[in-house]
Amino acid sequence: MAHREAALSRESAPLVDLGARARWRTRLRALTLGVVLALVVSAAWPIATAPGERTLTAYFSAAVGIYPNSDVRVLGVPIGSVSKVEPNGTDVKVTMTLRPDVQVPADAGAVVITPSLVADRYVQLTPVYHGGPELGDGASIPRERTATPVEVDDLLHSLNQLMAALGPQGANKDGAVSEVLTRSADYLNGTGQTIGQAIKNLGEFARTASDSKDDLFTSVDNISKFTAMLAANDGEVKRAIAQIASLSEVLAAQRDQFSGALTELTQALTVVQGFIKDNRGKVQSDVDKLADVTKVLVNQKDSLAEALDAAPNALTNLLGAYDRANGTIDGRGNLLEFAEPK
């Protein structure tokens, strides 16, 4: 009996171990699933909370080489991509998706850029944002502010038209173009160095003008102000011109008299020059004496001033003392002035 119970206990032990392992595996799967869900939520959270991208629409006359997923750039730096290209009447509507952190000025334009003949084209937004109003989500750029490159077919077509116009059925029908080319070749033959120097001088002049553009603009501004002043004083300017014209007429009418006066003045100057040359010593002596006299007068200026102040009274007294009847000068003296003081 005891051996049977021991055998049953040995048979039931593995069953107990298998159930515990199954429960542990279930718990491990649930824990793994929870960790995976947490990682997915944590990775998706920034995407879910980030602001959405903006859309911008531009209308072009043509959009050759522009497709969905083509780059949208500013100064060559990608800021988005083209999401849709569709016809819109005579225009092409290009819808673009931009990054939310990119700022585009409200007056921005769009240009289709061709890096090379084999590279993909892209849309360039210009100018760079430096502040002020900006384009919002869903804004559009009209055709007037967009540009597309000239296609090779258009260039060849224009070149073909030019060649036809200059060809034997056009301007060169009577050999005029050939004659111009021949004469130009003759005139330019041997003048390459001169033309090169002229081009170099023109470049230096352009560089100098660019360096002095502020002074040049200031001069132009001053000329503009001067012209405005003349326009504001048009009446006075006309009167001044009329007076100058009258003076010119007087001078023209009296030109013979002026000519004679100038001739006589020339002769007089010649005589004076000869006199000074012949009497240089005497003139110098007289000038030196005049300088001495002037020096004395300067030194005695106070005495001269006093004399000039007293002279009128002295003359008045002299005239009052003169006796016309007897022809004498009457006076009365104070003899006490000569007495010695006590």
User: Do residues 158 and 129 share a domain?
Assistant: no
3-class secondary-structure state, position 98:
strand
Q: Comparing 13-27, 239-253, 326-340, which segment has the lowest mean pLDDT?
A: 13-27
DSSP string, 236-281: HHHHHHHHHHHHHHHHHHTHHHHHHHHHHHHHHHHHHHHHHHHTHH
* Mean pLDDT in residue range 104-132: 89
Give the tens place of pLDDT for each residue, 177-193.
Answer: 787 878 888 878 888 88
Question: How far apart, in Å, are the Cα atoms of 119 and each of 81, 220, 296?
Answer: 16, 47, 104
In a domain, 123, yes or no: yes
* Residue 109 within a domain: yes
Domain identity same for 264 and 299: yes
Last residue of a domain, one of 99, 130, 149: 149
Residue 242 is assigned to a structural domain of this protein: no
pLDDT at residue number 15 = 44
pLDDT in tens, 68-84: 999 999 998 999 999 99
Last residue of a domain, one of 149, 179, 209: 149
**Residue 155: per-residue pLDDT:** 75
Residue 134 lies in a domain: yes
Integer-rounded Cα Rg, in Å, for the chain is: 56
Mean pLDDT calculated for residue range 191-208: 85
Kindly state the average pLDDT of the residues 261-278. 84
Q: Are strands 71-74 and 122-126 parallel, antiparallel or unpaired?
A: parallel
Q: Are residues 114 and 169 in the same domain?
A: no
263 part of a folded domain:
yes
Given a cut of 70, whether residue 25 has pLDDT beyond it is no
Comparing CA positions, the residue from 84, 80, 85, 71 lying closest to residue 101 is 80
Number of domains observed in the structure of the chain: 3
Separation CA 72–CA 110 (nearest Å): 9
Question: Considering the chain, what percentage of its residues have pLDDT values greater than 70?
Answer: 80
Q: Is the pTM of this model over 0.75?
A: no
In the predicted model, is pLDDT for residue 145 greater than 90?
yes
> What backbone phi and psi angles, to 5 degrees, belong to 330?
-90, 140
By the 8 A CB rule, do 122 and 152 touch? no
- Domain check: are 120 and 174 in the same one? no
Name the more confident of 9 and 88.
88
- Do 171 and 140 have their domain in common? no
Contact 86, 59 (CB under 8 A): no
Residues 64 and 103 in one domain: yes
Q: d(Cα 138, Cα 126) in Å, to the nearest integer?
A: 18
For residues 205-210, average pLDDT:
82
- 59 assigned to some structural domain: yes
Whether residue 224 is contained in a domain is answered as no
Question: Average per-residue pLDDT in the chain?
Answer: 79
d(CA 167, CA 161): 10
Q: Could you tell me if 98 and 138 lie in one domain? A: yes
What pLDDT score does 85 carry?
94
* Same-domain check for residues 264 and 305: yes
Structure tokens of 236? 């006075």
Say whether 162 sits in a helix, a strand or coil: helix
Same domain, 118 and 165: no
At 91, is the secondary structure helix, strand, or coil? strand
Is residue 262 domain-shared with residue 304, that is, in the same domain? yes
Q: Look-up: residue for tokens 């001044």?
A: 240
Backbone angles phi, psi at 125, to 5 degrees: -95, 135
Structural domain for 275, as ranges: 255-312
Instruction: Please tell me whether residues 135 and 65 are part of one structural domain.
Output: yes
Candidate from 57-71, 137-151, 269-283, 318-332 with smallest mean pLDDT: 318-332
Mean pLDDT of 59-72: 92
Domain boundary residue among 149, 175, 202?
Answer: 149
Residue 57, pLDDT > 90, answer yes
DSSP letter string over 46-86?
Answer: HHHHSPPPEEEEEEES--TT--TT-EEEETTEEEEEEEEEE
Pick the more confident residue, 1 or 228.
Answer: 228
Q: Residue 278 falls within a domain, yes or no? A: yes
What's the whole-number mean pLDDT along residues 6-14? 45
- Tell me: do 134 and 165 sit in the same domain: no
Indicate the pLDDT class of residue 335, thresholds 50, 70 and 90. low
